[in-house]
Chains A and B, each alone.
Chain A
Amino acid sequence: MIIIENLRKTYNHKSKIAVDGISFSVNNGEILGLVGLNGAGKTTTINASCGVILPSGGRILIDDMEIVEEKAKASQEIGWVSENPNFEPNTKAIHLMLYYAGFYKIPRKEAFNRSMDLLRTVGLEEDAYRPASAYSQGMKKRFALASAMISNPRNLLLDEILNGLDPSGINLIKKLILEWKKQGKAILLSTHLLGVLENLADRVIIMHHGKIIKTLTNDEMKSLGSTGIRIRADHVDKSLEMLLSKYGTVRIDGQNVIVNGDLNEKDMENISSDISSHGYRISHLDLEKKSLEEYFLTLIGEAL
């Protein structure tokens, strides 16, 4: 479990506040998405949470252990994937895995077997004896994930992990994340694409300028997905507006009428027959799905 209380981070006196007093928690068996534009404070939040950088204020608890004061203990249960993973030059991937395993006092033979299993899981078994620093960006991400899992930690902090991956890589990682969720791990996942978290995250925190501007549950995210029906009739008047208001919120957009609400294909059929029976001729009828990204951008725009 990850608990963040009033986290603040300023890199130096001249720069803006990177993270400005945010608080949230990630429960065991939960995937929490952290969404925001570049510079929103996602990476800073994740890096501070795993002890890579020091917070300027606030408290971060990993399984009830404070990450600054009890760094060595708290880090036992942390797996971290950086936004841009970088590894020691000229060191083979398998040797790096064994090196990392040494920090957890895993016996060498077990460490080797576990490392090979993990590299196989992320599709890097054949590249185990190549220097990790020479991997492509996507391979580095996979390797970073494998190295994060060397101790099978209870808390995972994954920074833009799906960035730079091909579709098969994205599917693989999503599958693994859902599997780890089932195992009861607390997973904090950052991205600048809200759509990525659909069907993945249990909750989403939207960050902007170092602050949390919205928290969405999975259900709320889904409701944002199908927003209304767009109708183009031969004429638009008050009667039509009255007629459609029973289906949801009605908005007139020139020759178009947009009905927003929790609508589906059946509603669309009902609206079509209702309008026709009242003498209107329909030239266009479409179930309009507003994307999460549009919602996200709208939200960010409102926050500006």
Chain B
Amino acid sequence: MKQILHEIRRALLAKTTILMMIVIILIPALVAVTSISSVNYSDSVNAKGYAEGQNLTFTISVYVYSNAYGTPIFGETVNLSISGHNYSFTTDSAGYANTTLHSYNTSEIANSSYTYDQVPGESSTSLREGIIMLKPKGNPYFTCSKPIFDQNETLYSSRYTICPAQINNDPKLYGILVTYQPSNLSNFPNISMYYITDKKGILTSGGTGYTVYGPIDYLNNFTKELGGSNYNESEMKYFRTFKSQESMVISPVNLTTNTNTSDYIFEFFSSNGTEVGWIALNLSRTTSPNAVNSLFFKTELPMLSLFVPLLAMLSAFLVFGRDRVTGVLSTVVVRPISRRSVILSRYMASVGAVFVASLASLGLSSTLFHYLLGTYIPLSSILLSFWALAVMICGFSGLIFFASSIMNSIGKIIATVMLAFFFFDFFWTFYALPAIPIFVSTYLLNQNYGTLEYLRTQAILDYITPSGYINLITYLQQHNVYTIGLASYPVSEIYLTFPLVVAAGLLWIFLPLLASLVSFSRKD
């Protein structure tokens, strides 16, 4: 056992192995980080339309902005319907579509509505909203006010709308998007933001990421009740004061440091202490496990399928092939150990080293996904990927062990490693350059892309090389029905059944190893 541990330690500490392990661990992680940073969250378009005027002359303004970052949308067409008439106008660089209408009374303006595309240019995503009437030159914080319910409460309509928003380059955290309806005001007022930790469980009752928010509906005497919990406004801490603008994203991310909670209640106050809006927000953003899973299979796993076979083969060469040719292995073979045990211990050391690197890579990536997106890679995907990687590691290691046991030249073994890498991995299965499968299907067999025969050939080619196992696993994991172009086929029709894939994996794990064992034990 000590000798096997020595072999494993030796395999792990070889400089080339360390270098390749760093590559295996870091490159897929970097790819994951890059792909994570490109994730977009509900980046749809939102709009606020309002009208202000009197004596049959009204100014209509529709402000169109990105719901994710609060940035104004330029060139968006807004269609206004008023008393059976339609008007189209386009947003300017500040995100405003403005027009002045004559001959319509207050009632007609108040009942008008407008449409805009939530996805610019796609009319199927069109949404209709009503125009909000503003009182001329009204309160800078509220559009109107009137007494309701009882003598102590007053209903206000705030000019501020508050909701969670995406923070640029930090997809795991939420910011707060504040939009302001300035109407014809020339000077935008300041608002101050206060916060308090949500210890009362407003957020936790709704689960992680649950948020409640809205404009202020009523004021009370410093004791707020939200979701059944009470908290004292006088205990709120001051965060910052902002100049109001049409839209802005506030990033209260520094609140998440040095604290165990990311649940906060934020309130916005006017300069004279009047509350104008609030939001209860869990600052941590979580991405769904399915989205993380999909990202992992599309970005990281192909990178692993490129580098893991290379490391497996290099490790096999260093641990067995090179030592056998240079005579180092003979200093072990001469000891009281069977030849079978010699090759098995070296094999275990070699694949063990790559297993460790692969697991470290998967673990680091999962941690990164969690750190950046709030969700770990699902355990089932980790296990499935590890099984696929294990098949690749054992398959390619076994092939090089076998080649090393029948070749007596370092040059020949290195050539075999390079040939196997480029032929059976890089040009065969790496998603950016699957030249061999395309050549075989399209040029050798004259099969058309997307046909059943084409897919069957691709599947057979994936069975032929250990690196194709990643593809088999991906198909099985992601598709019950394989869709290519306009055609769809049940995976079983393209030889992708669970027993077949498992059998192929077991064959790739054991066959090359057995060949090496027989060759080294019986024919050296």
Contacts and interface: CB of A to CB of B under 8 A. Distances in A.
Interface in B1-16: 2-3, 6, 10
Contacts of B328: 86-88
Interface residues of A, number: 27
A224 B199 CA distance: 105
B10 A88 contact: yes
Nearest to A103: B335
Interface size class of B (residues with CB under 8 A): 20 to 34
A36 interface: no
Nearest to A151: B336
Contact of A54 (B3, B10, B523): B523
Given A54-B524, A72-B336, A102 B3 contact: yes
Contacts of A91: 10
Contacts of B2: 102
Contact of A104 (B326, B331, B333, B336): B336
B522 interface: yes
A86 B327 contact: yes
A73 B338 CA distance: 9
Interface string B24-68: 000000000000000000000000000000000000000000000
A276 interface: no
A99 B3 contact: yes
Given A82-B327, A86-B328, A102-B3, A51 B522 contact: no
B16 to A, nearest CB: 11
A86 B329 CA distance: 9
Contacts of A54: 339, 522-524
B349 to A, nearest CB: 12
A103 B3 CA distance: 7
B368 to A, nearest CB: 33
A160 to B, nearest CB: 13
Interface string B334-359: 11111101000000000000000000
Interface string B495-523: 00000000000000000000000000011
B480 interface: no
Contact of A75 (B327, B331, B337): B337
Interface in A27-64: 47, 50-54
A115 interface: no
A80 interface: yes
Contact of A86 (B3, B326, B337): B326
A147 interface: yes
Shortest Cβ-Cβ A-B pairs, 4 listed: A103-B335, A75-B336, A86-B327, A52-B330
12 contacts: A51-B333, A52-B330, A52-B333, A54-B524, A71-B339, A82-B327, A82-B330, A85-B331, A86-B328, A87-B328, A102-B2, A147-B331
